[in-house]
Amino acid sequence: MTDGKQVLDTQVATREPAGLSGPVLDSNAVTTLAAAQAPGITSPQALVTSVQRSTNATPYGFRDLLALDDFERHAKRHLPPMVYQYVVGAVETATSLRANRAAYTRWSFLPRRMVDTSARSAATTLFGKTYSVPFGIAPLGGAAFVAYRGDLRLAEAARQINMPMILSASSLIKLEDVFAQNPDAWFQAYLPGDQLRIDCLVDRVAATGFGTLVVTADTPVLGNREHNTRSGFSMPIRVTPKVVWQSATHPRWLLGTVAQTFYRHGQPHFENMEAERGPPMLSRNALRNTTARDKLSWTNLEAIRRRWKGTLLVKGLTAPADVPIARDSGVDGVILSNHGGRQLDYDVPPLDVLPEIAAHKGGMMVIVDSGIRRGTDVLKALALGADFVFLGRPFLFAAAIGGTSGVAHAARILKEEVERDMALLGVNQLSQLTPDLLRPMPSPV
């Protein structure tokens, strides 16, 4: 005979596809059970006192990866200091980097209680596509030097989770190959102020089939990354005794990332900076062609808008005065970003300018990155007017230590935080997040 507990056990272990979240109690299960025993009446047997623990548990190697910051701790052991520093580092005094985190601590919540949030969902629609989560993977240059075939790992995890991933212009895998892995990926370009060179790249990206182009605006020149000079890192990387020593003392990374890449695919190159292949990643003398990036202007963006038929975004704005210019240039959205503190030191944290910018966004999407690490950060940004958010470093560390499943695990952690915090805050839909749910933190904590 089937008792109530057994019926429930067979029904509660439902999981979302692709291991997206923890075990979900199917809300129909209790109703089905009650109806089966006494239609219209909730019998005492229908009361559920226990549910089955998930059998689809976290992989053993990920068991102490509970929050996004945990990935950085693990990656620090796995990566040579120069590679770890390349990812974690920021320019000069690192004030923007710290300020990005501090900006999120200046807001507290005013949660609403006694709201039925059992139907809550983190699904978010952006540019006509519904994603499972309100966050995505920011463009991350050199990813395939940090993690084996890093760009493909990020793209595949994004496909599995159903979240956007932006392929970096400084990537080491051909954009055509990344598109084949994930046709929903976006492409980010670092452009020179030379329309002919721009047009050739834009045509290549369009011919591949990408639907979304992101033009990064905050890199007319490279920021002052002293941390790279100190640790021995450069792009392309020069093979010095220091680099050899750091690599040799991190054999898992050396064999698992560099040796495998050379053995299976040859020397990695900067494949997507321009329409043509760029220099190799390891080189004594070669440099990336960054000429004329400091000439890039709104006029170039207007010309791109006329040529590019897909969705167009500009990334790296922080000044509110730039936003109406972006809108007049015809972009579909802006990504407010200070490049995670990697370009101009003391560039304002995007969260601090978000309310002012969101108030005047018109029909554009306003997206934010830099410093987001927790579900509460995501909810604060959305409550202050962001339509979507991106994260950078945590996903690259996750790819370094766990490949595709590491990145998916990181996304799953953040999704669960978002969904848990929605319940604690009393909202069912992310569109219900408004500034009323926030209050400035009275004093620094």
Considering the rule CB under 6 A, would residue 257 count as an interface residue with ligand FMN? no
Residue 34, C-beta contacts closer than 8 angstroms, at least 6 positions apart: 41, 42, 43, 46
Instruction: Please identify, among the stretches 15-23, 139-147, 287-295, 300-308, the one whose residues bind ligand FMN according to the rule CB under 6 A.
Output: 139-147
Cβ nearer to ligand FMN, comparing 29 with 166: 166
Helix (H) or strand (E) holding 202: helix 195-208
Q: State the DSSP code for 124.
A: E
Choose, by CB under 6 A, the member of 4, 136, 139, 164 that binds ligand FMN.
139
Nearer to ligand FMN, 190 or 426 (CB): 190
Q: Which of 141, 192, 333, 406 touches ligand FMN (CB under 6 A)?
A: 141
Give the whole-angstrom CA distance, residue 406 versus residue 394.
10
Is beta strand 186-189 parallel, antiparallel or unpaired with respect to 166-167?
parallel
Please work out the total of residues on this chain that contact ligand FMN, with binding judged by CB under 6 A.
24
Which residue in this structure is represented by tokens 């008792």?
A: 3
Residue 97 beta carbon to ligand FMN: minimum distance, rounded to whole angstroms: 7
Are 404 and 156 in contact, with CB atoms under 8 Å apart?
Answer: yes
Q: Is 227 a catalytic residue?
A: no
Looking at 392, 402, 406, 426, which residue binds ligand FMN (CB under 6 A)? Answer: 392
Measuring CA to CA, which residue among 128, 138, 141, 143 is closest to residue 158?
138
In eight-state DSSP terms, residue 158 is H
Q: Which stretch binds ligand FMN (CB under 6 A): 5-13, 137-145, 231-239, 322-330?
A: 137-145
In the set 124, 160, 170, 311, which binds ligand FMN (CB under 6 A)?
170
Pairwise CA distance, residues 75 & 59, whole Å: 17
CB closer to ligand FMN out of 192 and 371 = 371
Binding mask 49-88 for ligand FMN (x = CB under 6 A): --------------------------------------x-
- Angle separating helix axes 81-88 and 68-78, nearest 10 degrees: 150
Q: Which amino acid is it at 320?
A: P
Is 370 a binding residue for ligand FMN by CB under 6 A? The answer is: yes
Cβ at position 262, least distance to ligand FMN in Å: 21
Interface mask toward ligand FMN for 320-359; x: CB under 6 A = -----------------x-xx-x-----------------
The answer to whether residues 95 and 346 touch, using CB atoms and an 8 Å cutoff, is: yes
Tokens of 58: 């976290």
CB 301 within 8 A of CB 227: no
Kindly state whether residue 273 participates in binding ligand FMN, applying the rule CB under 6 A: no
Residue of 393, 409, 412, 415 interacting with ligand FMN (CB under 6 A): 393
- Within 177-236, the residues that bind ligand FMN by CB under 6 A are 188, 216
CB 228 within 8 A of CB 234: yes
Q: Is 376 in the site for ligand FMN (CB under 6 A)?
A: no
Alpha carbon distance, N-terminus to C-terminus of the chain? 57
Per CB under 6 A, 385 contacts ligand FMN? no
Q: Nearest to residue 135, comparing CAs of 402, 418, 436, 421?
A: 418
Residues that bind ligand FMN (CB under 6 A): 87, 100, 138-141, 168-170, 188, 216, 315, 337, 339-340, 342, 369-372, 391-393, 396
Which residues are part of the catalytic machinery?
A: 339
